Structure 1
Amino acid sequence: MNQRPVRFRIGAALRHGLAAAGLILALAAPHAALAAATKGPDTVADTAALVMDAVVNISTSQTVAPSRSVPTPDLPPGSPFEEFFEEFFKRRQQQGDDQGPRRVSSLGSGFVIDPAGFIVTNNHVIADADEIFANFADGSKLKAEVIGRDTKIDLALLKVTPEAGKTLTSVKFGNSDMLRVGDWVMAIGNPFGLGGTLTVGVISARNRDINSGPYDNFLQTDAAINRGNSGGPLFNMDGDVIGINTAIISPSGGSIGIGFAVPSNTAVPIIAQLKEFGETRRGWIGVRIQQVTPEIAESLSLGRPRGALIGSVTDDGPAAKGGLKAGDVVVSFDGKEVKDMRALPIIVADTPVDKEVEVVVVRKGEEQKLKLTVGRLDEGDAPRAAEAGEKKPDAPAPTAGVKLLGVEITELTPELRTRFKIKDELNGVVVLSVEPGSVAAERGIAAGSVIAEVNQEATQTPKQVQDRIAALKKEGRRSALLMVSDPQGQVRFTALPIE
């Protein structure tokens, strides 16, 4: 039976045992020159000697609550298992089943970025710790304090006080954007408590989204990283830190050579904010976005799927004040291309708060340039895409309406507004029913939904919807883009095929 892959954070804080991942080089090229190019560097010893002392072992301890005893099952008198269970639980109690608070410890990695004592690691390495220590290669051990942490990127900044007269070895960050797939890298850390362990591999992929947070943008490497490597550095061949090792993918807990690191260009501004403010200060513009699918791209005459489609705009937010509207497709932000929906939250978050930026949007087939001033994200909220596919219960049996595109629609009357509990500010045509198994049903349109626009034109009556769909057919369009709202006002866009 095939096992479903399971994703693990690799720090000891998660306490998963991970086997070492081997690096296998396929040297099958027939030409000597190509074989020489693929065998990798002859040695990384010189580079390792320069940076090894900057890598530290992070050890933590914490007090955990006492365990609770399991009550003896209430069995009927004379049950064949009564005597067995009584003896079993009596023995457990004699062995001290109810223990008091106890201390547990864990191990991870980190690295010094400033001789003054600033150390970078993963947040999950030091999460919930009562005490944190940095153990150096020379055997010294210094107590560390948390300067700041970022749970969304999984980073933490620590500070130790160097011993008098001692200068700490530090490393500097490199430019992770310069990395190419196939470039050689080396990881140094503390796997299984074996401090100062070095492994070598290559960059396997870039810009990986592993669904660990809203700003996923990981480097993927086959350099062996294991339990205890979390928070350790990933170096390029110049000895610059280009990533912070954070996670692996594994079917059963053993490493299979698929590891992930936070890129240095993502980490550097976060670490700078933690150092200056003790917290992160991310950019925010106040929009709810969704993916541009091929059907939506065709409906909006984009040519190909690109950008981030705005589903709704927060009232009085930076985007609203800058003139952005629902239905706009953001293709550029502050001079940076927005390739897809996932790119926009990352770009916005990295933009300084209060900076005025230019935003390029596609609106009704034409590009427009707008300006807005970036606000600050409330860390209690994270940017999220429209939740397409969310199912809602059907409403009571509706009156007859017009059937098209797998839905039955009618005008939004006061009676229907009350029946479906539709907010007063919503306007359009209301969905009375949805054909089971239709594309509309698969994409989450349900009874009570309100269709406000068809291909970015407002609709108030079923005839307007029919006329707009007929016009799209005449234009040779294959799908119609609907702006759909649930009764509570959550807006999203979906494209339905025109039959």
Structure 2
Amino acid sequence: MSTKRISAAVRHLPRSRKGGLVAGALALGLAGALSAQTVVPGQFAFADPVRVESAAPQSFAAVVAGVKPAVVSVRVRSDSTPRMMSSRGGGMPGFEDLPQDHPLHRFFRRFGGEPFGGERGDGGGQRREEPRRYGTSQGSGFFITGDGYLVTNEHVVSGGSEFTVITDNGDEYEAKLIGADKRTDLALLKIEGESDFTYVEFAPDAPQVGEWVVAVGNPFGLGGSVTAGIVSARGRDIGAGPYDDFIQIDAPVNRGNSGGPAFNVKGQVIGVNAAIFSPSGGNVGIAFAIPASTAQTIVADLKNDGTVVRGWLGVQIQPVSKDIAESIGLDKAKGAIVAEAQGDSPALKAGIRSGDTILKVDGETIDSPRDLARKIAGYPPETTVTLDVWRDGREQAIEVKLGRLQEEARAAAVEPTGENTAFVDSLGVELASAKSVGAGDKGVVVTDISGDSAAAEKGLKRGDVILEVAGQQVDEPGDVAGAVLGASESGRKAVLMRVQSGNATRFVAVPVAKG
């Protein structure tokens, strides 16, 4: 009601009610002034609360009607290894090994069956190969082109010899495997001779946490099932592979949904459903989808030649903890620290060395080792990239020409032997020269360690080989003690050690006492 209408209404009321209504109008006016952050003398001004318009759709029916014909069930047939069986076994391998008084023997004798073949009681028979057996599994997938290319998970098609695609209307087609990438759990299938399939597109932008998501797939072999929820989180690392960057959703996803799409409300694919977290094996509201950006890149490579080629830097890396950051002079824990540059790797040839902390790749900030791995893998081999590294207390740029990703070489395990040890009280560790105990030509071996020491809390253990302390190579226990003392006298809260544990090399920041 406007101010003029309020005044007019007041004139027609008795005097006793006019006062109350005017007071109420003044109160409303004051509240409005306060909500608009107008400061009234002697009063407090309050900021407006956050108000967001709801974007909840009234129905997902239109989205589902548009995308559902593009979603398929994928049936995979795999050969099992033939087994040897006896002609006496009646299809039950190992039956002939049962004792004669076993209940199964009495069962067949009583009911006239002949589990052993031949005449009753002959006990004969020959060993023969069991007929080939086949296993069948099912998953989901979706068309990305009208001529029959479709995406699914690598773990859905793994080990398969025959692939059958069942569309939403029940039509069945034989498909061939174009290629699969185990590292990202993606695979590409193709139906030959058809060109009129309904297909969907990948979303150009990453979804935001809280956005609606619709999952369509083949849970438990039911086919064509639709569920809805929201994007719960992004950037999830679930330990599935070196490039984990999953979208977490709470749309109900179950066994058989693997390889199926997760859509936004525009009908675009934001991710490929790949895994669930579930103690029971069924949906508990936590599912993980491979981002559309990852799927697009991998599918393009698979479509090109059936393989995925990635850039290779050739370094062992680890996260930069607060202790490590402090020990090397970084203002905050960021980037990925190089534990070791592998032999004959692009990194080693470019001058990257242990202790370097990689902060950026071609100007893009590196948040973690996994982030670095994803960025490097996104480049094709022979690409030259610029790495911003932290070395000797300052940042510098190094150009590296990437190689092709290959399996990492494994170093020999190191175990301490012999005597000639010395105890470093400041660390709570007993050390011996690697040479003196036959554990190699470099470093100092941890032959014993106090369970309540700071070194033990940071993960050092018996058998580890300390290669460097505070950037200096160490070959004797005294080298370690001296470097720790130097770090303490310089005011460092921790000293950085490069440690070899079995096949891996890593950095450990061990706290030290001042002075």
The TM-score with structure 1 as length reference comes to 0.80
1:120 lines up with 2:151 in the alignment: yes
Paired position in structure 2 for 1:308: 336
Maintained 8 Å contact 1:332/1:359: yes
Three-state SS of the structure 1 residue aligned to 2:485 is helix
1:42 lines up with 2:54 in the alignment: no
Paired position in structure 2 for 1:62: 78
CA RMSD of aligned residues (A): 3.3
1:469 lines up with 2:484 in the alignment: yes
Maintained 8 Å contact 1:395/1:448: no
Maintained 8 Å contact 1:283/1:351: yes
CA–CA separation in structure 1 for the residues paired with 2:159 and 2:459:
40
Maintained 8 Å contact 2:139/2:258: yes
Call closer, same or farther: CA 1:87–1:101 in 2, change over 3 Å: farther
Maintained 8 Å contact 2:497/2:510: yes
CA–CA separation in structure 2 for the residues paired with 1:443 and 1:70:
53
1:494 lines up with 2:512 in the alignment: no
> What is the 5 A alignment of 1:222-237?
222-237=250-265
Gap regions ≥5 residues in structure 1: 1-32
Paired position in structure 2 for 1:135: 166
Amino acid at match of 2:490: E
Paired position in structure 1 for 2:466: 451
Task: Give the Å deviation of 1:50.
Answer: 2.2
1:353 lines up with 2:381 in the alignment: yes
Deviations 1:308-335 (A, max 9, x none): 1111001221111222110011111133
Matching residue within 38, 60, 69 for 1:53: 69
Deviations 1:353-401 (A, max 9, x none): 21111111111221111111111112x459x9x9xxx9x7553343445
Paired position in structure 1 for 2:180: 149
Call closer, same or farther: CA 1:409–1:62 in 2, change over 3 Å: closer
Call closer, same or farther: CA 1:125–1:432 in 2, change over 3 Å: closer
Matching residue within 184, 197, 201 for 1:168: 197
Maintained 8 Å contact 2:417/2:439: no
Task: Give the Å deviation of 1:85.
Answer: 7.9
Matching residue within 355, 377, 395 for 1:327: 355
Three-state SS of the structure 2 residue aligned to 1:295 is helix
1:272 lines up with 2:290 in the alignment: no
Matching residue within 424, 427, 434 for 1:405: 427
Paired position in structure 1 for 2:401: 373
Deviations 1:450-488 (A, max 9, x none): 4332222334555554443333223332211112235x8
CA–CA separation in structure 2 for the residues paired with 1:141 and 1:309:
52
Amino acid at match of 2:435: R
CA–CA separation in structure 2 for the residues paired with 1:489 and 1:150:
26
Maintained 8 Å contact 2:338/2:356: yes
Paired position in structure 2 for 1:284: 312
CA–CA separation in structure 2 for the residues paired with 1:161 and 1:342:
38
CA–CA separation in structure 2 for the residues paired with 1:417 and 1:463:
14
Amino acid at match of 2:58: D
CA–CA separation in structure 1 for the residues paired with 2:255 and 2:444:
56
Call closer, same or farther: CA 1:368–1:130 in 2, change over 3 Å: same
> What is the 5 A alignment of 1:198-213?
198-213=226-241
> What is the 5 A alignment of 1:213-224?
213-224=241-252
Paired position in structure 2 for 1:22: none
Call closer, same or farther: CA 1:203–1:448 in 2, change over 3 Å: closer
Higher relative contact order (CA 8 A, sep 6+): 1
Maintained 8 Å contact 2:138/2:156: yes
1:252 lines up with 2:280 in the alignment: yes
Gap regions ≥5 residues in structure 2: 1-49, 84-91, 118-128
CA–CA separation in structure 1 for the residues paired with 2:96 and 2:331:
68
Three-state SS of the structure 1 residue aligned to 2:192 is coil
The TM-score with structure 2 as length reference comes to 0.77
CA–CA separation in structure 2 for the residues paired with 1:301 and 1:141:
63
Paired position in structure 1 for 2:13: none
Call closer, same or farther: CA 1:36–1:199 in 2, change over 3 Å: farther
Paired position in structure 2 for 1:7: none
Call closer, same or farther: CA 1:309–1:85 in 2, change over 3 Å: farther
Maintained 8 Å contact 2:431/2:445: yes
Call closer, same or farther: CA 1:71–1:303 in 2, change over 3 Å: farther
1:106 lines up with 2:126 in the alignment: no
Deviations 1:141-175 (A, max 9, x none): 21100010011111110111244xx5111111113
CA–CA separation in structure 1 for the residues paired with 2:233 and 2:184:
19
CA–CA separation in structure 1 for the residues paired with 2:221 and 2:447:
63
Paired position in structure 1 for 2:495: 480
Call closer, same or farther: CA 1:161–1:394 in 2, change over 3 Å: same
